[in-house]
Structure 1
Amino acid sequence: MSIKLRELIRSIRACKTAAEERAVIARECALIRTAFKEDDNQFRHRNVAKLLFIHMMGYPTHFGQMECLKLIASTKFPEKRVGYLGLTQLLDENTEVLMLVTNSIKNDMSHESQYVNGLALCALGNIGSNEMCRALAREVERMMNSTNPYIRKKAALCAMRIIRKVDEIEDKFNGRIGSLLEDRNHGVLLSGCCLLTALLELNKDYIPEFRRHIPSLVNALRLVTKSGYNSAAEYDIAGICDPFLQAKILRLLRILGERNVDASDEMNDILAQVATNTEGTKNTGNAILYECVLTIMSIEAESGLRVLGINILGRFLLSRDNNIRYVALATLQRVVNVDVQIMQRHRNTIIECLKDADISIRKRALDVTYSLVDDSNIKSMTKELLNYLLVADTDFKEELCSRICMAVEKYSPNRRWQIDTLIKVMCLGGNFVKEQQREKFCKVVASTPELHSYTVIKLYFNMKESLTQEALVHVGVWCLGEFGDHLVSGRAVGPDNQPIHVSPSDVLDLLQDVIKKPPNLDKAPSTNALVAAALVKLVTRCPTEFERIKKLLRKFECSLHVDLQQRACEFLELLSSDWDSTRAGILDRMPVSEKEIGGAESRDVGDSSIDEVPPSGVRPGGAPAVGGSKGGDLLDLNDLLDAGPVAAPARPAASSPSGGGGGGGGDLLDLLDGGGAAPSPVPQVSGGGGADLGLLDLFGGGDSPAAAPTGQVVEAAPIVAFEKAGLKIVFHPRKEADGSSTVVARFCNSLTVPMTNFVFEAAVPKFVSLTMQPATGQVLPPQNDLVSQTMVCSNNSNGEKGLLMKLRIGYVMNGTPVQEMAQVGNFPPGY
Structure 2
Amino acid sequence: PFLSVLVSFSLFGSGIFWKDFSSKGATMNSLFRKTLLDMVRGIRANKGEESAFINERIAEIKEELKSPQNDVKSNAIEKLIYLQMLGYQIDFAAFNVIEVMNTPAFSTKRIGYLGCSQSFREDTSVMLLTTNLFKKDMTGQGGGALATSATLSQYESGLALSCLSNICTKELAQDLAGDVVSLLTSSKAYVRKKAILCLYKIFLRFPKALRPSFPRLKEKLEDPDMMVVSSSVNVICELARKNPKNYLGLAPLFFRLLTASTNNWMLIKIVKLFGALTPLEKRLGKKLVEPLSNIINNTSATSLLYECINTCIIGLSDHVEIIRLCISKLRALVEDPDQNLKYLGLLALHKIMATHPKAITEHRELVIKCLDGEDVSIRSRALDLLTGMVTKRNLIAVIGQLMTRLETAEADYSDQLVAKIVAMCSQDNYSLITDFEWYLSILVELTHIKGTAHGRLISNQLLDVTVRVKAIRTIAVGHMVSLLGDTRILGDTSIGSTIQEVLYAAAFITGEYAELVEDPYTVLEALLAEGGVFLPPNIQAVFMQNALKIIAFVAGQVDPEGGEEDEEFNDEYLLDMLDLAKEALPKFICSVHIEVQERACLLLETVNELEVTVEEKNTGLGLSLSALFDTILNPVAARAQRKVPVPEGLDLDREINPRPEGEDDDEEFTSDFWRNQASIFGGVDDLAQLAPAESPAGGYGSGLAEALASKGGSAAKKSYSPFILSGSNEARDFGKEEAGGYVDPDHKVEELPSEMMSGLMG
Fold-level similarity (TM above 0.5): yes
Task: Please name the residue that 1:572 is paired with.
Answer: 604
Partner Cα distance (1:180, 1:106) in 2: 22
Q: Does residue 47 of structure 1 match 2:76?
A: yes
Question: CA 1:547–1:538 in structure 2 vs 1: closer, same or farther (change >3 Å)?
Answer: same
Counterpart of 1:410, as a letter, is Q
Partner Cα distance (2:174, 2:213) in 1: 13
Task: Please name the residue that 1:546 is paired with.
Answer: 574
Point out the structure with the larger helix share.
Answer: 2
Q: Give the secondary structure class of the aligned counterpart of 1:304.
A: helix
Q: Give the secondary structure class of the aligned counterpart of 1:147.
A: coil
**How many Å apart are 1:340 and its aligned residue?**
1.8
- Judge conservation of contact 1:416–1:451 (CA < 8 Å) in 2: no
Task: Please name the residue that 1:32 is paired with.
Answer: 61
Question: CA 1:85–1:451 in structure 2 vs 1: closer, same or farther (change >3 Å)?
Answer: same
Counterpart of 1:550, as a letter, is L
Task: Please name the residue that 2:677 is paired with.
Answer: none
Counterpart of 1:158, as a letter, is C
Summarize the alignment of residues 361-440 of structure 1 with structure 2, pairs less than 5 Å apart.
361-373=378-390, 377-411=394-428, 412-413=430-431, 417-418=435-436, 420-431=438-449, 432=452, 433-440=454-461
- Judge conservation of contact 1:260–1:299 (CA < 8 Å) in 2: no
Partner Cα distance (1:149, 1:359) in 2: 47
- Judge conservation of contact 1:482–1:589 (CA < 8 Å) in 2: no
Task: Please name the residue that 1:56 is paired with.
Answer: 85
Q: Does residue 189 of structure 1 match 2:229?
A: yes
Question: CA 1:316–1:414 in structure 2 vs 1: closer, same or farther (change >3 Å)?
Answer: closer
- Judge conservation of contact 1:532–1:567 (CA < 8 Å) in 2: yes
Q: Deviations over 1:719-776 (max 9, x none)?
A: xxxxxxxxxxxxxxxxxxxxxxxxxxxxxxxxxxxxxxxxxxxxxxxxxxxxxxxxxx
Task: Please name the residue that 1:167 is paired with.
Answer: 207
Q: Does residue 253 of structure 1 match 2:274?
A: yes
Q: Give the secondary structure class of the aligned counterpart of 1:188.
A: helix
Partner Cα distance (1:139, 1:215) in 2: 31
Q: 2:309 aligns with which of 274, 283, 293?
A: 293
Q: Does residue 6 of structure 1 match 2:26?
A: no
Q: Give the secondary structure class of the aligned counterpart of 1:205.
A: helix
Partner Cα distance (1:132, 1:419) in 2: 72
Summarize the alignment of residues 249-288 of structure 1 with structure 2, pairs less than 5 Å apart.
249-279=270-300, 285-288=301-304
Q: Deviations over 1:338-364 (max 9, x none)?
A: 322221122211122122122222112
Summarize the alignment of residues 163-562 of structure 1 with structure 2, pairs less than 5 Å apart.
163-221=203-261, 224=262, 242-279=263-300, 285-300=301-316, 302-373=319-390, 377-411=394-428, 412-413=430-431, 417-418=435-436, 420-431=438-449, 432=452, 433-460=454-481, 468=489, 470=500, 472-487=502-517, 502-508=518-524, 511=527, 515=529, 523=535, 527-543=539-555, 544=569, 545-553=573-581, 554-559=583-588, 561-562=591-592
Q: Deviations over 1:294-318 (max 9, x none)?
A: 1221222521111111222211111
Counterpart of 2:638, as a letter, is E
**How many Å apart are 1:536 and its aligned residue?**
1.4
Counterpart of 1:341, as a letter, is K
Question: CA 1:260–1:391 in structure 2 vs 1: closer, same or farther (change >3 Å)?
Answer: farther
Question: CA 1:16–1:556 in structure 2 vs 1: closer, same or farther (change >3 Å)?
Answer: farther
Point out the structure with the larger strand share.
Answer: 1
Question: CA 1:29–1:464 in structure 2 vs 1: closer, same or farther (change >3 Å)?
Answer: closer
Question: CA 1:212–1:243 in structure 2 vs 1: closer, same or farther (change >3 Å)?
Answer: closer
- Judge conservation of contact 2:254–2:270 (CA < 8 Å) in 1: no
**How many Å apart are 1:122 and its aligned residue?**
0.9
Q: Deviations over 1:705-726 (max 9, x none)?
A: xxxxxxxxxxxxxxxxxxxxxx
- Judge conservation of contact 1:246–1:288 (CA < 8 Å) in 2: yes
Question: CA 1:77–1:387 in structure 2 vs 1: closer, same or farther (change >3 Å)?
Answer: same
Partner Cα distance (1:345, 1:465) in 2: 41
- Judge conservation of contact 1:440–1:597 (CA < 8 Å) in 2: no
- Judge conservation of contact 2:504–2:539 (CA < 8 Å) in 1: yes
Partner Cα distance (2:377, 2:401) in 1: 20
- Judge conservation of contact 1:94–1:129 (CA < 8 Å) in 2: no
Higher relative CO (CA 8 A, sep ≥ 6), structure 1 or 2?
1
Q: 2:128 aligns with which of 99, 103, 115?
A: 99
Q: Give the secondary structure class of the aligned counterpart of 2:71.
A: coil
Question: CA 1:42–1:593 in structure 2 vs 1: closer, same or farther (change >3 Å)?
Answer: same
**How many Å apart are 1:466 and its aligned residue?**
8.1
**How many Å apart are 1:429 and its aligned residue?**
4.5
Question: CA 1:528–1:462 in structure 2 vs 1: closer, same or farther (change >3 Å)?
Answer: closer
- Judge conservation of contact 1:442–1:475 (CA < 8 Å) in 2: yes
Summarize the alignment of residues 141-156 of structure 1 with structure 2, pairs less than 5 Å apart.
141-156=181-196
Counterpart of 1:271, as a letter, is L
Partner Cα distance (1:64, 1:422) in 2: 72
**How many Å apart are 1:467 and its aligned residue?**
5.5
Partner Cα distance (1:95, 1:442) in 2: 64
Q: Deviations over 1:551-591 (max 9, x none)?
A: 44332422564234443222112333286575335545674
- Judge conservation of contact 1:347–1:369 (CA < 8 Å) in 2: yes
Q: Deviations over 1:310-331 (max 9, x none)?
A: 2222111112222222222233
Counterpart of 1:535, as a letter, is A
- Judge conservation of contact 1:481–1:538 (CA < 8 Å) in 2: yes
| Equivalences, count | 554
Q: Deviations over 1:423-451 (max 9, x none)?
A: 41342345523414423531442244454
Q: Deviations over 1:565-620 (max 9, x none)?
A: 4432221123332865753355456745644299xxxxxxxxxxxxxxxxxxxxxx
Q: Give the secondary structure class of the aligned counterpart of 2:129.
A: helix
Question: CA 1:195–1:25 in structure 2 vs 1: closer, same or farther (change >3 Å)?
Answer: same
Q: Give the secondary structure class of the aligned counterpart of 2:218.
A: helix
Partner Cα distance (1:403, 1:180) in 2: 52
Runs of 5+ consecutive residues of structure 1 not aligned to the other structure: 225-241, 280-284, 488-501, 599-831
- Judge conservation of contact 2:258–2:267 (CA < 8 Å) in 1: no
- Judge conservation of contact 1:558–1:565 (CA < 8 Å) in 2: no
- Judge conservation of contact 1:137–1:162 (CA < 8 Å) in 2: yes
- Judge conservation of contact 2:585–2:604 (CA < 8 Å) in 1: no
Please tell me the root mean square deviation across aligned C-alpha atoms, in Å.
3.0
- Judge conservation of contact 1:259–1:300 (CA < 8 Å) in 2: no
Q: Give the secondary structure class of the aligned counterpart of 2:126.
A: helix
Counterpart of 2:626, as a letter, is A
Counterpart of 2:309, as a letter, is V
Partner Cα distance (2:96, 2:131) in 1: 15
Partner Cα distance (1:268, 1:320) in 2: 30
Task: Please name the residue that 1:774 is paired with.
Answer: none
After TM superposition, the structure 1 stretch with the greater mean CA deviation from structure 2, 84-93 or 461-470, is: 461-470
Counterpart of 1:139, as a letter, is D
**How many Å apart are 1:252 and its aligned residue?**
2.2
- Judge conservation of contact 1:74–1:80 (CA < 8 Å) in 2: yes
- Judge conservation of contact 2:240–2:247 (CA < 8 Å) in 1: yes
